[in-house]
Amino acid sequence: MAVAVNGETELARKRRVRRMARELAVIHPDAHCELDFTNPLELAVATVLSAQCTDVRVNQTTPALFAKYRTAADYAGADRVELEEMIRPTGFFRNKAASLMGLGQQLVDRFGGELPRSLPQLVTLPGIGRKTANVVLGNAFGVPGITVDTHFQRLVNRWAWTEEEDPVKIEHAVGALVEKRDWTMLSHRVIFHGRRVCHARKPACGACPLAGMCPSYGLGPVDPAEAVKLLKGPRVAEIAALAGVTA
């Protein structure tokens, strides 16, 4: 029988992953897509802008953008200089403007101005890779998808859910461990945990409700009083309580 790096069988790993997934649902009942949008096109645009940029900054930028550019045709016919200036705060604005204009044109030319609802079609569009496609599918169309961003990749490796490093291989490996219907929400919960608890440089190990199932426990401070100070977000007290710690 295949054995994982940390010594557990594949069956044991699947059971642990599913226990952790259930616990994540308890830890982060508020998990959701943190990009603001009202339709599939807006979500696709926001996700393109989120590359190398925080969701907070994107959400500060998109209200004016969405008010001016309402359709794919609007992006296709945009004045490049004006569009670049509007999205400048998100960084890499020239490349992103080119992607958005190309996206708009491709949607007009090939899909009647509407985003397609399949991953193979979405990934043929400018600025849309598998990560963006899965975000759009899962959150705008209700089609289950796993979003492998930097937080997701970091955590599933720390948790020994997979030893893969390539995002596509991670997507398939994790997808084989959990029910397909759970893919989208699992992605949100893992990402929430990465932003609020299991930070890149200093995870809050001593205040993490998943500590007992985590093979990387001890990577961050294990002292509860020190660890709880690292928790972020609006539910610090609740998360700490689930770990048996007082915030």
Instruction: Write out the two tokens for 190.
Output: 């893992």
**Please, are residues 96 and 49 in contact by the beta-carbon 8 Å criterion?**
yes
Instruction: Write out the two tokens for 169.
Output: 């291989």
pLDDT at 247: 84
pLDDT at 53: 95
Q: Residue 55 carries which DSSP code?
A: H
> Does residue 149 have an active-site annotation?
yes
**Please, are residues 227 and 214 in contact by the beta-carbon 8 Å criterion?**
no
Task: Pick left, alpha or beta for residue 125 (phi over 0 → left; psi -120 to 50 → alpha; otherwise beta).
Answer: beta
pTM for this structure? 0.92
pLDDT at 6: 58
Instruction: Write out the two tokens for 85.
Output: 């200036």
pLDDT at 169: 97
Apex 208 CA angle, 205 and 211, nearest 5: 75
- Amino acid occupying residue 121: Q
**Please, are residues 78 and 69 in contact by the beta-carbon 8 Å criterion?**
yes
Residues of the chain with pLDDT under 70: 1-6
Q: Which residues pair with 9 in a beta bridge?
A: 3
**Please, are residues 206 and 212 in contact by the beta-carbon 8 Å criterion?**
no
pLDDT tens-digit readout, 24-52: 999 999 999 999 999 999 999 999 999 99
Which residue among 36, 55, 149, 182 is the active-site one?
149
> Does residue 68 have an active-site annotation?
no
Angle of helix 150-158 relative to helix 167-175, nearest 10 degrees?
60
